[in-house]
């Protein structure tokens, strides 16, 4: 319907449609009446399946946006007078219109710089030392939040996660992981979901599915169910408890049960790798970040970028605090990105570079 969207779209993975198995699951869930508010069988089964997937008993709470998942998760572990330590360009800082502040009742997000999107244990330690020194006048250290994959398309290695978590633990802070693109990170790491999370010290995960093929499915996962005390009331009073919750749970079941989440992510990552590999051979192009997941940040000459835009490739020009030569753009692939679009993009980029 919309002209823009007949084009080859690398704007975000959230412009994608719903993948077939998930749409099938939604349709299948629609048979007769069912108990409301999560009393249904799909939601019950999800607890078991998620626990199996993560190799430990988890408490999992479906919601329908990443912002809700993150803000609810943080509100559960950070007091109104607390600090959340995170990257300065984390989604919770720049893209959620102060939802974390709203849900926590006023906690402060303290963002650290890091060119590759990965915060460091020593940044957390220094911030906590400062807070301790300031005492009651400053916000109280509350939690560490990291994004996996990061906003810059990079992925924390397991050792990096566990080092960060070890510092957090030592300082008494829970660790939250914003996993809007968790499956993409997992595929990159090639490890188990358990290794990527609780075995590396993560306490709470915002698990995303919407960007990776779902219609509207995210979840807050507590690796220690005792941490989830009263969480259902937080979800309810935020308006995120659905009466027909089976339709979210069914999406997550389809997503997790038979490896769909990994298959989808694998494709998305592969398309991003192809883009990166191809761009590395384009004269004048320079990759700005390691392409670990499904996002490519690349600098190209202004003329090339303008030409690509004219050819109906959709993507964002990306603002950088330290801009490179040329123009920085972001390309995002998804489970639904056709190989042909990647090839066309690379061919076009090559062609403009030559001229």
Range in contact with a copy of itself (rule: CB under 8 A) among 144-152, 165-173, 230-238, 305-313? 230-238
Decide if residue 48 touches a copy of itself (CB under 8 A): no
Find out whether 195 and 182 touch, Cβ atoms under 8 Å.
Answer: no
**Nearer residue to a copy of itself within complex by CB, 125 or 216:** 216
If one asks whether residue 79 binds a copy of itself (CB under 8 A), the answer comes out as yes
Name the DSSP letter for residue 150: -
Size of the site for a copy of itself (CB under 8 A): 79
Interface with a copy of itself (CB under 8 A), residue from 87, 176, 188, 240: 240
DSSP H helices, 151-228, are: 158-170, 182-189, 193-196
Least Å distance, CB 131 to a copy of itself, is: 10
Q: Are 251 and 310 in contact (CB under 8 A)?
A: no
Within 155-184, the residues that bind a copy of itself by CB under 8 A are none
| Contact residue for a copy of itself among 52, 95, 224, 257 (CB under 8 A) | 95
Nearer to a copy of itself, 94 or 192 (CB): 94
Cβ proximity to a copy of itself: between 20 and 277 the closer is: 20
**Cα 84 from Cα 211, distance rounded (Å):** 25
In the chain, which ranges are E strands?
8-9, 59-63, 82-87, 108-112, 140-147, 175-179, 204-208, 218-222, 286-287, 295-300, 313-314, 316-317, 327-332
Output the smallest distance, CB 333 to a copy of itself, in A. 12
d(CA 112, CA 97): 19
Pick 105 or 259: Cβ nearer a copy of itself: 105
Give yes or no for residue 202 binding a copy of itself (CB under 8 A): no
Burial, 10: exposed, middle or buried (Cβ in 10 Å; 0-12, 13-18, 19+)?
buried
Is residue 340 part of the contact set for a copy of itself (CB under 8 A)?
no
Any contact of residue 68 with a copy of itself (CB under 8 A)?
yes
How near is the Cβ of 208 to a copy of itself at its closest, in Å?
A: 10
Work out how close the CB of 69 gets to a copy of itself at its nearest, in angstroms, rounded to a whole number. Answer: 8
Position among 50, 60, 67, 329 found at the interface with a copy of itself (CB under 8 A): 67
Considering only residues 1-40, where is the footprint of a copy of itself by CB under 8 A? 1-2, 4-6, 9, 11-12, 14-18, 23, 26-27, 30-37, 40
82-87 and 108-112 as β-strands: parallel, antiparallel, unpaired? parallel
Among 120, 169, 244, 350, binds a copy of itself (CB under 8 A): 244
- Helix, strand, coil percentages, rounded to 5, for the chain: 45, 15, 35
Distance CA 15, CA 5 (A): 9
Nearest to 182 by CA among 160, 162, 203, 210: 210
């Amino acid at each position: 319907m919309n002209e823009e969207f007949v084009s080859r779209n690398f704007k975000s993975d959230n412009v994608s449609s719903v993948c077939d198995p998930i749409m099938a699951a939604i349709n299948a869930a629609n048979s007769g009446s069912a108990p409301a508010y999560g009393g249904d069988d799909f939601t019950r089964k999800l607890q078991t399946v998620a626990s199996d997937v993560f190799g430990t008993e988890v408490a999992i709470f479906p919601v329908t946006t990443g912002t809700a998942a993150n803000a609810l998760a943080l509100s559960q572990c950070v007091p109104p007078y607390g600090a959340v330590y995170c990257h300065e360009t984390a989604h919770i800082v720049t893209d959620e219109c102060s939802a974390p502040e709203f849900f926590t009742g006023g906690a402060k997000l303290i963002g650290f710089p890091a060119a590759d999107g990965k915060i460091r244990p020593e940044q957390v330690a220094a911030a906590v030392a400062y807070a301790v020194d300031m005492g009651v006048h400053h916000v109280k250290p509350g939690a560490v939040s990291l994004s996996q994959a990061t906003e810059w398309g990079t992925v924390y290695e397991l050792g990096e996660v566990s080092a960060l978590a070890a510092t957090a633990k030592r300082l008494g802070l829970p660790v939250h992981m914003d996993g809007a693109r968790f499956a993409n990170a997992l595929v990159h790491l090639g490890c188990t979901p358990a290794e990527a999370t609780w075995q590396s010290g993560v306490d709470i995960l915002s698990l995303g599915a919407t960007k990776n093929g779902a219609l509207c499915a995210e979840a807050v996962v507590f690796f220690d169910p005792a941490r989830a005390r009263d969480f259902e009331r937080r979800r309810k009073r935020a308006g995120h408890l659905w009466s027909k919750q089976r339709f979210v749970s069914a999406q997550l079941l389809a997503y997790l049960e038979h490896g769909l989440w990994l298959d989808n992510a694998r494709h998305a990552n592969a398309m991003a790798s192809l883009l990166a590999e191809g761009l590395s051979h384009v004269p004048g192009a320079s990759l700005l970040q390691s392409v670990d997941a499904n996002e490519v940040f690349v600098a190209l000459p202004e003329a090339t970028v303008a030409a690509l835009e004219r050819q109906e490739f959709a993507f964002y020009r990306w603002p950088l605090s330290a801009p490179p030569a040329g123009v920085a753009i972001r390309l995002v692939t998804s489970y639904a990105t056709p190989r042909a679009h990647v090839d066309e993009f690379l061919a076009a980029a090559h062609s403009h570079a030559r001229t």
